[in-house]
Structure 1
Amino acid sequence: LVVAHPHWHAGVIGIVASRISSRYNRPVVVIGMDEDGVGRGSCRSIPGFDLLSHLQQCSSLLRRYGGHAMAAGLEVAHEKIAEFSARFNEVCAATLRQGDRRRQLLVDAWLQPSDINDALYQDQNRLRPFGHSNPLPVWAVRNVTPVCPPRVIGGKHLKLLFSMGRETREVIGFGMGDREIPDGPLDIAFNLILNRYNGREYLQLHLQDLRPAQAD
């Protein structure tokens, strides 16, 4: 997927590329133009897809490029952007299998609801600092049921409440307000966050994905 616009600032295209790649599970190139009319692109990949080798197959259309399997940068002349877009999409399509196009979420550990507590949060903090090369762990629990209907907050975020052991846990799905929630028990994957609000501190689950509950 290649997108370009003359008014996109070079300082934000990397963030945009990461978000588009994550949302659509595609290799992505986002291109902005500098004052000289040269396209400067930020590229992001998906697990198992070697981005750099596919840029190499388009090298005749690029001024320069560099990076690694998961992220790269490039320069391309304005008049070559359309041709580069077509070529990049072509070489990517030749490699991607249909299964690669489904978003996959890697879960670090499946938990029992009673495992979600302050001790787990403290153990998680021993892995800090978190960042691109050391992301927050993704935890998951099976067969949990919302205690009330889901709500949309802030116009676009999903809020759910689940009974987990002796606790009722708040689950927030940022940007998931339009997500359809299946009926019945669910398996949910999440990041564990310490939320601070109105002088209170409590564990909050930031939803990464959900599905109808499945057998172990």
Structure 2
Amino acid sequence: MTWQADVEKKATSACQQNPLLPPLLLALLSTLRRVETLCQHCSDASFSRGKLLMQSDLDMAAGWLSKQINDLELLLRSGVLHQSTAIVLSRPNPSSSKEELTFFIKDLFTRLQIGGLEFKRKGLESLIQLLSDDDKSAALVAKEGNVGCLISLLDLNAHDSLRELAVHAVSLLVSSGDLPRKIVFEEGALGPLLRIIDYSSAPIKEKASIAVESITADPDKGKGLHSCGVHHC
């Protein structure tokens, strides 16, 4: 069995254990195949592709490998690899322990970071449901979740459905207390929210406006609003 076939076999087996892992393994396999081809070209004296183009191809492949390895490391560190088998875990009930809620939050944010569109969408929907049903969970979300990842989904280049859900989640988060508001502000949410207000449709503008109002309720953060408004941060 070749190493490629071995990776494919393991990816297929892993699909039955955790749905996040197979896409990562298959993407890694594709990159490794590309690297193998490039290595063969490098050792082939008859290969006529220029050195600069070859260097560019190698740099791109190295970048892909680095990202895919980082994603795999994130999945391993998160702890969800051996425990999660659904697109999104069932939300803990009100009697769940802090540890169970923390694991749920980490699982959601792992999916937001490395999952595909459906994983991200389901993750955001579950996050919104959690924040809507239990505003006390916001502080734990802010501390245990990767808020920067959530903020990145506010970008105008993000998928429309994800951006709308992310705005809703952020508006709930910043409306739930000082700590979540502080962390969201420090992660740089103000600029993306203002751009959404400028360029998006009415429903998403409303939620973005709510979030901005909550963030800038603090006078110190209000200065950030002035700065962003003037300089389009």
Q: Same fold (TM over 0.5)?
A: no
Shorter chain as denominator, the TM-score bin is under 0.3
Please, what TM-score do these two structures have when normalized by structure 2? Answer: 0.24
Higher helix share: 2
Please, what TM-score do these two structures have when normalized by structure 1? Answer: 0.25
Higher strand share: 1
